[in-house]
Amino acid sequence: MDSTMVAFEAEKQKILAQLADIFNRQNFLLLSSRALMAFGAPLHRLEANLIAMALNLDVEATFAVLPGIILITFGDEDTRSSETYVVRGMAGYDMYRLGRTNRTIRRVLKSRISVGQGVKNLERILATPPIYSWWMMLLDYVAISFFICPLFWNGSWQDAGVSAMLGLMVGLLQLLAGRFNNYANLFEVSSAFLVSFVAALLQNHVCFGTVSFAGIVMLLPGLALTTSIIEMASRNMISGTVRLVFALSRCFMLGYGISVGSMLGSRVLGLDTAVALMEGQIDSTTDVGNCRPGPSKFWWFMFLPVLSLAFNISISAHWRQWPFMMFSGCLAYTVSYFTSLSEAVSPLSPAIAAFAMGLFANVLASFYNHRSAVEPILGGVQLLVPGSLGLKTVLSFITSSGTSSGSFLYNIFATSLGVSVGLFLSGMCIFPNRRKRVGLMTF
């Protein structure tokens, strides 16, 4: 009798241990999906990566990835039952925590740590606050607006100084939107309105177009627009379409705010040239509205790394990630600049720059298994995204310029598609035949 009870208890403990192990692996998949979605992993590869993780962990699971939500179904062949979990979260960009999540997942899949330890690590990562405080992010708004003004739109020193002040104002409004939910719905429109209103009041001293775009550069939906094209090109139609509609809607909100603000600012000065102001000052190289030439291009050698660093801080990159991300950003901008000088290869400039940047990031990830290619690629894509083109299109729609709006709209998709083609080609060159049980953390 005693031996029977001992055998029964031993069998019971064995079954409980097996169930605990299964639940542990399922919990690891749930936490991994939540962390990857929240910290900026590419959605068009997330489903394939989760399937690879499930195969490696020997868990029967299916996944459906949508913007802001992941549906995970765990099946049991023995009982012929299934459980579906809904993982919700706001997608964002946090390169530091994404890198830690990627390292934890790789260590678990390679059996360097147990699944239980991996669960504890992921819970600790999800509970970790952002590495940069609110005042650091506020200074980042100022730095990006200042350095991008002469580098992207050939603005003068005076334009850069005013852009920095406007960037500070947008950063303060961002903090206000995070504190008051009702104001968050008006954040984009009110920020564009105030920036363009101040720029219009100072139109006799600064270049309106340069200062307006540099002031709201952190709100331009270029990255969302490019990732939507990438997702649709990879046949993730639902997430790609949602992102595309969001990006275009944000363009229209910013364009509406700029249109109303510039018109009101011109009326305050007793002018009735708001439409001409928007159309003529899109390019700071014109002589409309006191657009002075920018500083010497030798300054660009100093501006470019600092701007790349500021963009890296905006997506919460750790200082250990800065060197590779800065190099990727500078490489993308440099290749794009020199290829655009040639009329023969100018249409292919975004694709060539994205290919060079993606090649560097994927080679780096293949040599260092604990690194992913997402961080360097995002560090470079931010300097290639066509956010300003999207805003120009909206302004063209508002000013009823149908021909120019169609041309700008074509340029938006051509640039975004060129970036996606370059990234896909670089990934194919480095990872031509990826094994099923190994995820691919790249674009």
Q: CA 54 → CA 48, 51, 62, 111, 363, distances in Å?
A: 10, 5, 9, 14, 26
Note the pLDDT tens digit of each residue in 148-161. 888 887 788 888 99
The model's pLDDT over 86-101, given as tens digits with 9 standing for 90+, comes to 888 777 889 999 989 9
CA 301/CA 309 separation, integer angstroms: 13
Q: Where does the pLDDT of residue 411 fall: very low under 50, low under 70, confident under 90, or very high at 90 and above?
A: low
Looking at residue 31, what is its pLDDT?
93
- How many percent of the chain have pLDDT more than 90? 21
Q: What pLDDT does residue 295 have? A: 78
Which tens digit of pLDDT belongs to each residue from 50-86? 988 888 888 888 888 888 889 999 887 666 678 888 8
Q: Is the dihedral of CA 109, 113, 119, 123 positive or negative?
A: negative
Q: Are 193 and 219 in contact (CB under 8 A)?
A: no
pLDDT of residue 286: 39
Q: How many angstroms from the chain centroid is the CA of residue 153?
A: 22
Largest CA distance in the chain: 102
Count other C-beta atoms under 10 Å from residue 17's C-beta: 10
Confidence of residue 348 (pLDDT cuts 50, 70, 90): confident
Buried b (16+ CB within 10 A) or exposed e, 269-278: eeeebbbebb
Asked if residue 443 lies in contact with residue 372, where contact means CB atoms within 8 angstroms, the answer is: no
Instruction: Name the region of 80 (left: φ>0; alpha: ψ -120 to 50; beta: rest).
Output: left
> Binning pLDDT at 50, 70 and 90, where does residue 288 land?
very low
114-145 confidence digits (pLDDT tens): 888 999 999 999 999 989 999 999 999 999 99
pLDDT of 309: 92
**Which band of pLDDT confidence, cut at 50, 70 and 90, is reported for residue 281?**
very low
> Residue 27: what pLDDT?
92
pLDDT for position 11: 66
Q: When comparing pLDDT for 158 and 294, which is higher?
A: 158
DSSP codes, 281-322: TSSTTS-TTS------GGGHHHHHHHHHHHHHHHTT--TTTH
Comparing 439 with 430, the larger pLDDT belongs to 430
270 φ/ψ sector (left φ>0, alpha ψ -120 to 50, else beta)? left
Compute the average pLDDT of residues 16-40: 86
Sheet strand arrangement including 69-76: 61-66, 69-76, 81-88
Check residue 390 and give its pLDDT. 43
pLDDT band at residue 253, thresholds of 50, 70 and 90?
Answer: confident
Tokens read off for 53: 């993780």
Q: What's the pLDDT at 119?
A: 92
Q: Which two tokens stand for residue 353?
A: 């720059």
Q: How confident is the model at residue 396 (pLDDT cuts 50, 70, 90)?
A: low
Beta-bridged to residue 88, according to DSSP, are 69
